[in-house]
Structure 1
Amino acid sequence: MVYPPVCLSCGALTGRHGGVCAACWSGVRFIERPYCEVLGLPFSYDPGPGMLSAQAIADPPVFARLRAAAIFDGAARAMVHGLKYRDRGDLAPVMAGWMERAGQDCLAGCDAILPVPLHRTRFALRKFNQAAELARHLSGRTGTPYLPAALVRTKRTQRQVGLTARARQDNVRAAFAIAAGHEAEVFGKRLVLIDDVYTTGATVSAATRALKKAGATEVSVLTFAMALAETI
């Protein structure tokens, strides 16, 4: 009676805690096969197994593969904003559950998962890192080792929102490094990098370069949502 179950997106009453109402659920665009095996971009038709998108062929990413649970709009967008800007930590376990399902091929056989880090000044202002919350719950669900301190952001970058693709790349260039004393956690390992939203890939690409420079054998990216051109 004090805390009735409500929709994680719109706040409407629901039958149980941790759920999404029927109206919001019907608007969630989960990313299902067929999709590009590298970038995880959904295809409008089935081109056959193992097919790559034109974007993945023309500009291959530095990471091995990308997976995301849903398109960044509707309820998925509301959940991202709730976790990131409104301290809705209760959303993280549910979001991690969706990510676990979407990223099964990334998580299978990986050595560890780690979040895209915040710069220490931004962390001090925000008090928590939404990517770290998602990674922590994913680690608990899968039993995969969690590396919260291996990767650090060494440069205080401006917010990526509103920047062009080229400006995003320039903004995060050389912004990440391996924390001193954590090199062995990365060297020779297959890692899954966690973030909340994939937009242009500038941030996760910069983080991947730092991990591979430190000797990671493979880096996959797993996010909760993916912003397509129509939703950016």
Structure 2
Amino acid sequence: MLGAALQTAVRVLYPPRCLSCGGMVEQDFGLCGICWRDTPFITGLVCDSCGTPLPGESNTIEHCDACLQIARPWDRGRAALLYQDTGRKLVLALKHGDRHDIADPAALWLARALRPILPDAPLIVPVPLHLIRLLRRRFNQSALLAQALAECLKADCCPDALLRPTRTPSLDGQTREERFATMSGTLIANPKRRAQISGRNVVIVDDVMTSGATMAAAAEACHDAGANTVCIAALARVAKDA
């Protein structure tokens, strides 16, 4: 009785707000009708390697042009959103706005996209940040997503499975070829976690996928540590490179 009264009082003082615009919503960690409409969730036919949406309908496995041209060092992949409109706004709020509250609902969206290809007994692994960037940002948004996703899927998570010993420049403005050259060999398996990766079906998690260069470096590091299979999961996909 007291607990219900306290919960009611909290809702009166702190009513649920839309994750995107801050407007009133019925439940915590939700989107209002307008923001839900403007959030580009990826549905329908997608590339089986990177999750980018494809035109038409098909019951067979399909791949986008980029994944047909580039050898992907992972098995399958999915993304929850397109990196545009409200999707971009939510990713930037999580990444740069200290909006940790976005991680839990984002993980639910990502889990929904990932379930059709989810391997048995997956190990959820985030893309790492370099130590200097981690100290400046104070958190790794991909690790927040990975931990929340693991809870949704009731799966194991290893937040420090991979390391980024090399401080790479920003990939913004680089061509696809430049991105792959920049990221090649920059991620490694944590020596203390190689045994946890070996023989496991790994799912690599990142906030945004553009060319796939970062995911490729992470996948290669997991394979080097003896991963059985590697899938990728991005909260948002930049579709222009598809």
1:93-114: CA deviation from partner (whole Å, max 9, x where unpaired): 0100100100003434143111
Q: Does 1:118 align with 2:139?
A: no
Whole-Å separation in 2 of the counterparts to 1:214 and 1:38: 21
Report the CA distance between 1:48 and its aligned residue.
4.0
- Equivalent runs, 1:71-220 vs 2, <5 Å: 71-220=82-231
Gaps of 5+ in 2: 1-11
Identity level (%): 33
Give SS of 2:124's match. Answer: strand
Question: Per the alignment, do residues 139 and 48 of structure 1 end up closer, same or farther by CA in structure 2, a change over 3 Å counting?
Answer: closer
Query: 2:4 matched to which residue of 1?
Result: none
**Cα RMSD (Å) of the superposition?**
1.7
Give SS of 1:36's match. Answer: coil
Report the CA distance between 1:51 and its aligned residue.
2.6
Report the CA distance between 1:204 and its aligned residue.
0.7
TM-score by length of structure 1 reads 0.93
- Report if the CA contact (8 A) 1:150-1:178 is conserved: yes
Report the CA distance between 1:118 and its aligned residue.
0.5
Query: 1:5 matched to which residue of 2?
Result: 16
Q: Matched residue pairs, number?
A: 231
1:94-142: CA deviation from partner (whole Å, max 9, x where unpaired): 1001001000034341431110000111111111000000011111122
Structure label with greater radius of gyration: 2
1:34-77: CA deviation from partner (whole Å, max 9, x where unpaired): 12222222122114422333332232311111100111112111
TM-score by length of structure 2 reads 0.89
More helix per residue: 1 or 2?
2
Gaps of 5+ in 1: none
Q: 1:16 aligns with which of 2, 8, 27?
A: 27
Give SS of 2:56's match. Answer: coil
- Report if the CA contact (8 A) 2:50-2:79 is conserved: no
Give SS of 2:231's match. Answer: strand
